[in-house]
Each structure stands twice: as structure tokens, then as C-alpha cells.
Amino acid sequence: MITIVDYGMGNLRSVQKAFEKVGAEAVICSDPDKIAQASKLILPGVGAFRDAIQALKDQSLVEPILEHARSGKPFLGICLGLQLLFDVSYEDGEYEGLGIIPGKVVRFEDQPDLKIPHMGWNQIERTAPHPILAGIPEHEYFYFVHSYYVAPENESDVAAWTDYGCRFASMVARDNVVASQFHPEKSQDAGLKLLQNFASF
């Protein structure tokens, strides 16, 4: 069963509906015990890092998420759900993350003619083949909405890069954990194919 973590932040129903479109059942859940038993876990998120990490702590969801990440079972982070996997975020202060992937979350630097947030369609450049991108063309476009991006400590954790004023990690993958800065549920056919691939893990 695919379980979508509900901690009060994120377009949960959109993610659930996208899985329904590809014939996969996904449940939205905020119960720590049920999340701990999930066979596949989705950590979505829209909003501020500080609020998100506090919500996970307040709802006793941190440990079940960490246990799942360590278990070897499939794990997918989306947008803010990607950023939460890292050690620290510098969004409006300094906040400790889940520490699943070494690295930090930083803001795009102000540049002439660079609009922040990065919003709209952009390409990804994969670093190596990964099962979650199977059947998706090289340099495919996905939909982004973010002002901060992840800077992994180890380049080996980067699954794909994207250019927007700088070259940033738009996907990461480490063992059973994979996460995207873009929103697959908003990325039409390519995004649905990515979610279908995850459902088949």
C-alpha cells in the first residue's frame, strides 16, 4: 500500500489522484503507527521548512519516517518533502531537518532577470539511469514551484540536475530513498509515468 504522509502541509489529494490515474491505490494518513507499517511512503509538502519540520515533530511522525527510510522500503519525497530529508535548511533562519541525506537547503541567489520563486516547466538532466525514470525521455520537462533548493554534500546522491540561474539538484536518490524538487503530480504524462514507476517498485 502506498501511504501519503499527512502532516497538514501539501496538496495531498492531488498526489493521491495522480496515483489513481495510473491505477495505483494510495491512502492519505496522519497516524504514526500506520505510517510505520506502510509498504511504500510518500512525503509531500508545500510551504515553509520551519513549519513543516515542526508539524512532523508535533504529530510524532519523525521516527516513523526515519524508520521507513532505513527499512529499505520505497520512499518518495516531493518538493518540500525532498528538502525535509536534508540536514539543515536556511529558509528564514536555520532549522534542522531529518538528516536522511547529507546536505543543506539554500535560497536561489538574486540575479538580474531571475524570477524567484522558480515557477513553471524546466528540464532535468539525469546523472545515471534510475528505475523511477524508466520510460521517461532524456531532458524531460517537469513542473517546479520553489525558492529554495537542496545542495547535497555528496554528488553521488544527485539523480538529476536542473539549471535555473545555477545548476541545482532537482532529484536525489540514495538506496531506497528518492525525491524530486519538481511536482510529478503536476507534470502531466512524464510525472504520471514517474509515479507509476514508483508504484511498481
Instruction: Give the active site residues.
Output: 79, 183, 185
Q: At what angle do helices 12-21 and 188-199 cross, to 10 degrees?
A: 80
Cis peptide bond prior to 117, omega within 30° of 0: yes
> What is the C-alpha to C-alpha distance for residues 181 and 146, in angstroms, rounded to an integer?
8
- Helices marked H in the chain: 12-21, 32-36, 49-58, 62-71, 80-83, 188-199
The C-alpha cell at 114 is 531571475
HSE toward the beta carbon, residue 200, CA cutoff 13 A: 13
